[in-house]
């Protein structure tokens, strides 16, 4: 470091889903491969897809993934402010990894400016430790009605005196309006900070956009750094803001594939639990928001939720609750993780209205557990666990698995099958001849041996075991590393090595 703070580079987008998170991860990997000590940074994130750092602090999962691209462990400084939506206009506010407050949107905007010092302190800390910090914005910097409250876009770029790359998603259409419109709506000082445009997610022959590059450069005076192609079949976590559409039942006529229906709660959280399953060739993941589209899956997965009681109410309102109970009676494998695990139980007590204004509710009654939200701190920790002899997954007894916990509430049961390190009592429960089961441990399916045993169990029940062996013959962690390198290769080829090196050597001249 030679006593100098790290260089900085910022990625901002014309809109949500422009591809900022993955491009930031790609740049983190590119500069790491060039020998830099790199760290990611996003001042403020809004996502219920959270990661848990080694000290128990929460940050956005996209920043944890970007830290992986850098080859470092995630810390709260990489995302000092995290908003976790609990309702349409209310969020839990996480500051420096810990719960700070629960605020509606108006109250948050009025109080958010007191968080600026936490943001700058976190960024300064990273710049003292690393050679380069790749910073990510949020939404668009040209939200004119919100610019006075900015904590994450141009205010951060100005503070760090960082060059900014503005990213537009051509797949959404209107790429010229996206890039030029965003640029022209910015104040003159911020316009001069835009060092280059990136046209992202281009499908087809890149040469067909040659005229587009000329038009953008002539109209703006800003160089187009490159046109990044849409990378097919990329097995990497989705961006925080990427919408997940309800998907139809798979056609299983062409070979055997397990049909996994993931219930897409209104307040779904930690959707990364399905990432490793999505990569399995014999598994097909689809997301379900309505009873009519549940159909006849092989497996139903109830993932985490930021509002267990509200989403339980939603299940009943949509008719999905009845459909899931009927599926359990038919012998369908049903899994609940974290909030989904709580929902599958018998009773949920929330008399102090910690998580929602619903004081209590009868659960779906598929697991013999009772959950209490009253009292106690939110549980957030990385951990490992040993699978007990009464496991619902044959061949896994004694196996050690790792993951993380992130939940309000505690659940009591007499059928715990997961001995979590440091926990007083076993976690998890199983019922319906081990066809219905769940636990609090996120990341369970990222454990390769466990995932293989579980897939083998389902195949055996379906009579497939003699036809095809378990498809898990790889390390999911190794797969992610390979895919990160593939993404980085595509981005580096599109932007050019020389241009990338010039970027972090550039100085921004401002009018201030």
How many whole angstroms separate alpha carbon 8 and alpha carbon 28? 11
At residue 204, the pLDDT reads 94
Is 442 considered catalytic here? yes
Give Cα 144 to chain centroid, integer Å: 27
How many whole angstroms separate alpha carbon 340 and alpha carbon 355? 15
At residue 250, the pLDDT reads 64
At residue 345, the pLDDT reads 97
Between 476-495 and 61-70, two packed helices, what is the crossing angle to 10 degrees? 80
Is 28 considered catalytic here? no
Going by the DSSP 8-state scheme, the letter that residue 173 receives in this structure is S
At residue 511, the pLDDT reads 38
pTM: 0.94
Q: Which domains, ranges and CATH numbers included, belong to the chain?
A: 7-235+480-503 (3.40.50.300), 258-461 (3.40.50.880)
At residue 88, the pLDDT reads 76
At residue 468, the pLDDT reads 46
Low-confidence ranges of the chain (pLDDT < 50): 1-2, 241, 253, 468-469, 471-472, 510-512
At residue 510, the pLDDT reads 45
Closest by Cα among 398, 367, 402 to 384: 402
At residue 512, the pLDDT reads 36
From 338, 427, 439, 446, the catalytic residue: 338
Contact (Cβ atoms closer than 8 angstroms) between residue 45 and residue 76: no
Closest by Cα among 257, 258, 286, 276 to 479: 276
Closest by Cα among 95, 59, 91, 87 to 74: 59
Query: Are β-strands 258-263 and 299-302 bridged in parallel, bridged antiparallel, or unpaired?
Result: parallel
State pLDDT tens for residues 354-395.
778 888 999 999 999 999 997 667 899 999 999 999 999 999
């Amino acid at each position: 470091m030679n006593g100098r703070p790290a260089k900085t580079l910022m990625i901002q987008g014309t809109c949500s889903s422009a591809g900022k998170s993955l491009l930031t991860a790609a740049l983190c990997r590119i500069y790491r491969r060039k020998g830099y000590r790199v760290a990611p940074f996003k001042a403020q994130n809004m996502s219920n897809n959270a990661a848990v750092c080694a000290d128990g602090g929460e940050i956005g999962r996209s920043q944890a993934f970007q830290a992986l691209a850098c080859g470092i462990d995630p810390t709260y400084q990489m995302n000092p402010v995290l908003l976790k939506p609990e309702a349409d206009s209310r969020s839990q506010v996480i500051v420096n990894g810990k719960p700070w407050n629960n605020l509606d949107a108006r109250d948050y905007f009025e109080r958010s400016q007191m968080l600026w010092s936490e943001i700058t302190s976190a960024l300064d800390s990273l710049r003292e430790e690393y050679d380069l910090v790749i910073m990510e914005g949020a939404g668009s910097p040209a939200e004119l009605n919100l610019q006075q409250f900015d904590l994450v876009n141009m205010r951060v770029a100005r503070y760090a005196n960082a060059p900014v790359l503005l990213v537009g998603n051509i797949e959404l259409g209107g790429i010229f309006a996206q890039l030029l419109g965003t640029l022209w709506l910015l104040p003159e000082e911020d316009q001069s900070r835009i060092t280059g445009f990136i046209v992202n997610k281009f499908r087809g022959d890149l040469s067909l956009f040659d005229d587009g590059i000329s038009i953008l450069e002539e109209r703006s005076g800003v160089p187009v750094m490159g046109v990044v192609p849409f990378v097919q079949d990329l097995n990497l976590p989705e961006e925080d803001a990427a919408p997940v559409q309800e998907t139809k039942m798979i056609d299983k006529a062409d070979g055997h594939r397990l049909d996994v229906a993931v219930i897409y709660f209104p307040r779904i959280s930690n959707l990364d639990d399905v990432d490793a399953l999505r990569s399995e060739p014999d598994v097909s993941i689809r997301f379900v928001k309505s009873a009519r589209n549940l159909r006849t899956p092989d497996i139903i997965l109830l993932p985490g939720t930021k509002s267990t009681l509200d989403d339980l109410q939603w299940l009943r309102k949509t008719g999905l609750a009845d459909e899931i109970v009927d599926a359990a009676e038919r012998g369908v494998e049903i899994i609940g993780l974290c909030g989904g695990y709580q929902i599958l139980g018998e009773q949920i007590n929330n008399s102090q209205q910690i998580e929602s204004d619903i004081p209590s509710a009868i659960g779906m009654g598929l697991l013999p557990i009772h959950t209490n939200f009253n009292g106690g701190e939110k549980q957030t920790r990385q951990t490992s666990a040993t699978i007990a002899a009464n496991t619902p997954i044959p061949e896994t007894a004694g196996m050690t698995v790792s993951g993380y916990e992130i939940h309000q509430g505690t659940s009591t049961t007499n059928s715990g099958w997961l001995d979590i390190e440091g926990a007083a009592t076993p976690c998890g429960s199983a019922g319906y001849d081990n066809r219905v089961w769940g636990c609090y441990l996120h990341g369970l399916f990222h454990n390769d041996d466990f995932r293989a045993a579980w897939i083998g169990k389902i195949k055996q029940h379906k009579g497939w075991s003699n036809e095809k062996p378990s498809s898990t013959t790889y390390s999911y962690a190794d797969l992610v590393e390979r895919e990160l390198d593939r993404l980085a290769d595509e981005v580096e080829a599109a932007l050019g090595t020389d241009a990338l090196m010039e970027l972090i050597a550039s100085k921004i001249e401002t009018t201030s």
